[in-house]
Structure 1
Amino acid sequence: MNVRETFTLSFLTDLLRNPEYTGENRCFPCTLVNLSIGTAASVVVAAVSPLAGGSLFGLSLLVIYLRGYLVPGTPTVTKRYLPDSFLRLFDKVDEPSTPPALDDVDTIEAFLRRRDALREVEDGADLELTPSFRTAHRKWAAEYDATDRLLAAPASLLFHGADVDVDAEDLTLTQGPNAFVLRSEDRPLARWESRAAMIGDVAAAAVFADRTDDWAAIDPETRLQVLGALRLWYDRCPACGGDVSLEQDVVESCCRSTSVLVGTCNDCGSRMFETNYDDSIASE
């Protein structure tokens, strides 16, 4: 194959490729549905002509690879005929997880209350940040508002003392469409819904590191879950100080719709957290 033919083939491949449904955006349930349809059609054709059946199968694989879909309207078919429990295995929408046990087999809520981060409100129906934690948290949030300080902090506050090789100089923060991702040499370490959420986590970690000697003994995954859970009780944005309000939203993936509860700053629009929301439970 000469240079002209190679260039033409590459150009046609790029022209046919649909990045909206391929690469990182590929929907695996929809891909499986298309592969099944393509395979079934190829088997039927192969019963009449093995050569035609093999050619159809190869063409189906090529189209699915380049375009993402073989059959138009695949997401509708996938939503209608595949069970939600199966779709959830491949869905990119974050699912809430049960926090791992801490060293003393406590829940995260108990950990936060014992470290004087949370207390019951007067009627005992809910929890809130304690005044002392709120004051300390705002102080550290102001310290880490600068990007250079914010990037230097995770190595000592989120990963220090753990069996994780993290060099502060190798850390980078990249902004995606719905997340801020902390990376070390292109290896993702943690993600946040917004820069303000990251500031909040780093500031809270600084408070815990000051208040207790066992913060570094908790594994990084649990530390991040503790800090993420704490954001459920934010009433002020760590970045701008605006009020945080709760609202229900719907997150759309390729073939699923998920109800979520989100905390958002009314002033700067930063999202503090996003967690799945069960309408049936809420209506009881």
Structure 2
Amino acid sequence: MNLAALVSSLRHPSYTGRAREPGFVVANVLVVSLLAVGVERLVPLAGTVLIAVSVGLLVLRGYAVPGTPAFVRWVMTLADAAHAPDPVPRDERELLQAGVLAHTDGEIRPTASFLAAWRARVRSAGSRQEDTRALATALDVDPGCVSLRWRADVLFAEVAGTPLGAWLSRAALVADTASIHELRRRYPQWDRCSPPLRGAMLDTLRLYLDVCPTCDGETVLDRAPSRVPGATGRTVAVTCADCDARLFESGFRTSVAVVGDDTSPSVVGR
């Protein structure tokens, strides 16, 4: 093989010219410099030869150390993964780990054991007049300090004047009350979670419910007009097809429901 053919075989246009990667050059210069110092101590002038050969390879190929492109991209992938947001929200991840949710047929759904226990609690929820006591029992607070009231189609709960939560339907309240009992039993960290995390977990459970807790009707997940006071446009919602109760609404998950001068968090917890 003549010299021209050898030089041509060493070229790698993917990493030279405008496609040259500065990171490759920096990494290779550092590696070659360290190697040259060590080689020079063992064999005089060998370090100089190594640097000369490496400079030639950097010009022809864009890198001198074999495997540089794969190594640099591997490091960049690790760095991107370290800074990338968690694809699974924390509330959903906690519910999966607790065995409340599970991947079934490629979808996330409440587990059969949770649904069975949840439905049993829903059926024993009692009448509308017992909602206050049921919520107080679930939250382990004095029933005499809890109040429920409707304002502008939003059901607000307070304990001694402090906001507990807000729901777009009684069905959503009943669903959360039953879920709190089961989460406390199945998820030991429940009482140590922050109110926003507990509220997010309850929201997520209502998102995946396929049955209305108050009428046993089938729920529908679709884009629908928002029912949050003051909100406009359509949103992702879960609504009962029979009684039209709104169980979940994406615009109501982490925002607050503002009615008049009242601002109450759309989460449940103390």
Q: TM-score range by the shorter chain?
A: 0.5 to 0.7
Would you say the 8 A contact 1:242–1:265 is kept in 2?
A: yes
* Two-structure CA RMSD over aligned residues (Å): 2.8
CA distance in structure 2 between the aligned counterparts of 1:152 and 1:254, rounded to whole angstroms: 27
Would you say the 8 A contact 1:236–1:265 is kept in 2?
A: yes
> Corresponding residue for 2:119?
138
CA distance in structure 1 between the aligned counterparts of 2:171 and 2:127, rounded to whole angstroms: 11
> Corresponding residue for 1:8?
none
Letter in 2 for 1:151: T
Of the three residues 186, 198, 209, the one matched with 1:223 is 198
Q: Are positions 1:244 and 2:244 aligned together? A: no
Secondary structure of 1:239 counterpart: coil
Would you say the 8 A contact 1:244–1:265 is kept in 2?
A: yes
Per-residue deviation, 1:187: 3.6
Per-residue deviation, 1:150: 2.8
Letter in 2 for 1:119: A
Per-residue deviation, 1:184: 2.3
> Corresponding residue for 1:179?
154
| Bigger radius of gyration among the two | 2
Equivalent runs, 1:10-49 vs 2, <5 Å: none
Would you say the 8 A contact 2:226–2:249 is kept in 1?
A: no
**Ranges of 4+ aligned residues in structure 1 off by more than 6 Å:** 252-256
> Corresponding residue for 2:94?
111
Secondary structure of 2:201 counterpart: helix
Q: Are positions 1:170 and 2:151 aligned together? A: no
> Corresponding residue for 2:232?
257
Structure 1 length-normalised TM: 0.52
CA distance in structure 1 between the aligned counterparts of 2:233 and 2:97, rounded to whole angstroms: 34
CA distance in structure 2 between the aligned counterparts of 1:276 and 1:145, rounded to whole angstroms: 29
Equivalent runs, 1:142-157 vs 2, <5 Å: 142-157=123-138
Secondary structure of 1:232 counterpart: helix
> Corresponding residue for 1:210?
185
> Corresponding residue for 2:109?
128
Q: Provide structure 2 residue ranges, at least 5 long, that are not aligned to the other structure.
A: 1-85, 253-270
Letter in 1 for 2:97: R
> Corresponding residue for 1:77?
none
Q: Are positions 1:198 and 2:198 aligned together? A: no
Per-residue deviation, 1:156: 4.5
> Corresponding residue for 2:63?
none
Q: Provide structure 1 residue ranges, at least 5 long, that are not aligned to the other structure.
A: 1-100, 161-165, 278-284
Aligned residues: 166
Per-residue deviation, 1:136: 0.5
Per-residue deviation, 1:148: 5.0
Secondary structure of 2:163 counterpart: strand
Secondary structure of 1:138 counterpart: helix
Identity of aligned residues (%): 28
Would you say the 8 A contact 1:259–1:276 is kept in 2?
A: no
Would you say the 8 A contact 2:154–2:167 is kept in 1?
A: yes
Per-residue deviation, 1:267: 1.2
